């Protein structure tokens, strides 16, 4: 109530290492029949205790004529889902939809960048603790990876290397008045991100011979605002890297951003906008 939230029904999402998103192949069948055997199929692909897993799936080629079909499998540890539901219940809210972070980000990305729904592209969300790497193949999220690199680590490294306070390091990362981020620092952080992206891309090519290499990277999340990081990452990967704006093609009501800089806020909105689009669909 203090935050001005009137509705009690919310859309939320889960993500991280306790969530698996994987494209698999199954014998062709209808959705009803597939739902009956999906748990058995998942046992071959999901490294979790199947007694404590929530599963869902989507047939990607329902109109296909071959003997096999491609299925997008999603598995999440039940305790992760239960914890999110309980957390919302504690503040008087009810989760009507539980999505996956990767899919929510994809929703916002797709509506703003329809031209990126062909070929293999990466959507990289640089968060506070973790960077999420999502690879799309012709618009379908086919691989997710998390690497333990985020803005908190960047800030702590900057403090240690430059002898700065937390506040000074934070201002520097945000492009404030504490000076320019050293080029060597940016290159080292870009290398960390690039290695994670390259490993994800290599895994995809090994698992799916039809998938090509990543042709473009879109950055989002708080870390994407770090000055010159996108350029350093593009130089390291030798592919185009650009910032993703989740309100690029959305109509925004007058006054929503009156008290803030849109460029500063937009990278933080990809996930919440993706979740909001679930209610609008």
Domain of residue 72, CATH code? 3.30.420.40
Instruction: With respect to residue 222, please indicate whether it lies within any of the assigned structural domains.
Output: yes
- Which pTM does this prediction carry? 0.84
Could you give the CA distance from residue 271 to residue 22 in angstroms, rounded to a whole number?
20
Assigned token pair, 146? 């998390």
Using CA atoms, how far residue 74 sits from 20, 168, 252, in Å, is 6, 41, 32
Instruction: With respect to residue 252, please indicate whether it lies within any of the assigned structural domains.
Output: yes
Instruction: Give the start-end residues of each E strand in 78-225.
Output: 94-100, 120-126, 131-137, 140-147, 216-220
Instruction: With respect to residue 153, please indicate whether it lies within any of the assigned structural domains.
Output: yes
Task: Assess whether pLDDT exceeds 70 at residue 211.
Answer: no
**pLDDT tens-place string over residues 256-276:** 777 777 777 888 899 999 999
What pLDDT band is residue 253 in, cutting at 50, 70 and 90?
A: confident
Residue 279 or 230, more confident? 230
Instruction: With respect to residue 4, please indicate whether it lies within any of the assigned structural domains.
Output: no
Residue 134 or 1, more confident? 134
CB 196 within 8 A of CB 145: yes
Q: What percentage of the chain carries pLDDT values higher than 90?
A: 63
Using CA atoms, how far residue 212 sits from 196, 200, 275, in Å, is 17, 12, 29
What pLDDT band is residue 29 in, cutting at 50, 70 and 90?
A: very high
Number of domains in the chain: 1
Could you give the CA distance from residue 77 to residue 17 in angstroms, rounded to a whole number?
9
Task: Assess whether pLDDT exceeds 90 at residue 279.
Answer: no
Could you give the CA distance from residue 154 to residue 152 in angstroms, rounded to a whole number?
5
- Axis-axis angle for helices 270-280, 101-112 (nearest 10): 80
Beta bridge partners of 99: 13
Assigned token pair, 251? 């109509």
Domain hosting residue 248, numbered range? 9-280
**Computed over its alpha carbons, how large is the radius of gyration of the chain?**
20
């Amino acid at each position: 109530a203090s935050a001005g939230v009137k509705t009690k029904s919310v859309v939320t999402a889960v993500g991280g290492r306790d969530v698996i998103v994987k494209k698999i192949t199954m014998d062709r069948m209808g959705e009803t029949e597939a739902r009956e055997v999906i748990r058995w199929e998942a046992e071959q692909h999901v490294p979790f205790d199947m007694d404590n897993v929530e599963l869902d799936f989507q047939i990607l080629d329902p109109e296909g004529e071959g003997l096999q079909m491609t299925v997008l499998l999603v598995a999440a540890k039940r305790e992760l889902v239960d914890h999110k539901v309980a957390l919302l219940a504690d503040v008087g809210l009810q989760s009507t939809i539980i999505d996956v972070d990767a899919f929510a980000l994809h929703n916002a990305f797709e509506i703003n960048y329809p031209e990126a729904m062909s070929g293999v592209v990466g959507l990289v969300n640089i968060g506070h603790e973790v960077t999420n790497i999502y690879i799309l193949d012709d618009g379908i999220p086919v691989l997710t990876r998390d690497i333990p690199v985020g803005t908190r680590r960047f800030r702590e490294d900057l403090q240690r290397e430059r002898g700065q306070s937390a506040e000074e390091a934070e201002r520097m990362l945000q492009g404030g008045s504490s000076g320019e981020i050293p080029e060597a620092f940016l290159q080292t952080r870009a290398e960390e991100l690039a290695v994670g992206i390259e490993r994800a891309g290599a895994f995809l090519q090994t698992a799916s011979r039809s998938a090509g290499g990543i042709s473009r990277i879109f950055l989002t999340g708080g870390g994407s605002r770090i000055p010159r990081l996108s350029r350093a990452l593009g130089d390291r990967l030798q592919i185009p890297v650009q910032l993703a704006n989740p309100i690029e093609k959305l109509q925004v009501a007058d006054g929503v951003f009156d008290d803030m800089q849109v460029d500063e806020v937009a990278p933080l909105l990809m996930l919440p906008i993706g979740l909001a689009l679930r209610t609008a669909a």
